[in-house]
Amino acid sequence: MDRSASKSLVRASLVLSAVLVPTVLCGTASGAAPGDARGDTGTVAAARTSSERGCPVVYFDLGETLVHTADDGSTDYQRGAASYLRALRAHHIEVGLITNVPSSWGTTDAERAARLKEEVDATWRGPVPFAWEDFEDRILTPRAETERKPAPVLWQRAKADSGRCRVVYQAETAEEVTVASSLGFVAYQVGRPHRPAFLPVGLVELLGHRSR
């Protein structure tokens, strides 16, 4: 990287920090929505405290945020997504998915997540498999078509399941970022020009320190 490019990157990082730090230092509204009684992730939220979960928790949209679908229908990591997930994993930061899938894919988050994995893996052409194991049981999907984003339900469930931890949401669409922000998430629109592709890990860690 030449000197001018390096300086540009530093300036972009400083500008981003100036924008995000006031958000980090201010408290966010606390929202909660209980899960249903059919085994969805939200049903165990009351048993999970911030001491049991890493803080913060970073949730993502899936398509065109972490995963890119090519013109031929094949899928692979979005540029920079694999290394970003590795960096979060190295810093012991928990991650989750908030993604729309047909509610008919199952009666629980686990069933719908299993079908989602099958669908993505069937078209995967990337050299490195998608890191499903990073997300554990934090894959939230609509229990009914009325819960599909941008309806607030999935974000509310994610917030409830994260206890007292700060919650982050990253997606490629401005509408989803706006809704998540209104519900108390630190929201970041990925893939925009002149900005880091994803919210820098150092700032994510800062969010965790501020939530304790």
Look at residue 17 and tell me whether its pLDDT is greater than 70. Answer: no
- The pLDDT, as a whole number, for residue 207 is 84
- The pLDDT, as a whole number, for residue 29 is 33
Domain boundaries, the chain: 3-210
- 85 versus 48: the higher-pLDDT residue is 85
- The pLDDT, as a whole number, for residue 33 is 37
| Tens digit of each residue's pLDDT (9 = 90 or more) over 146-198 | 999 999 999 999 999 999 899 999 999 999 999 999 999 999 999 999 999 99
Give the mean model confidence (pLDDT) for residues 30-57.
Answer: 44
What's the mean per-residue pLDDT of the chain? 82
Please provide the DSSP assignment of the chain as one string: --HHHHHHHHHHHHHHHHHHHHHHHS----------TTS-GGGGGGG--TTTS-SSEEEE--BTTTEEE-TTS-EEEPTTHHHHHHHHHHTT-EEEEE----GGG-SSHHHHHHHHHHHHHHHB--SS---GGGGTT-EE--SSGGGSTTSSHHHHHHHHHTTTS-EEEEES-HHHHHHHHHTT-EEEETT-TTS-SS--HHHHHHHHHHT-
- The pLDDT, as a whole number, for residue 51 is 39
- The pLDDT, as a whole number, for residue 27 is 34
Q: What is the CATH number of domain 3-210?
A: 3.40.50.1000
Give the pairing type, strands 75-77 and 94-98.
unpaired
- The pLDDT, as a whole number, for residue 135 is 98
What predicted TM-score, i.e. pTM, was given to this entire model?
0.78
Distances (CA, A) of 101 to 70, 106, 109: 19, 10, 10
Look at residue 84 and tell me whether its pLDDT is greater than 70. Answer: yes
- The pLDDT, as a whole number, for residue 210 is 60
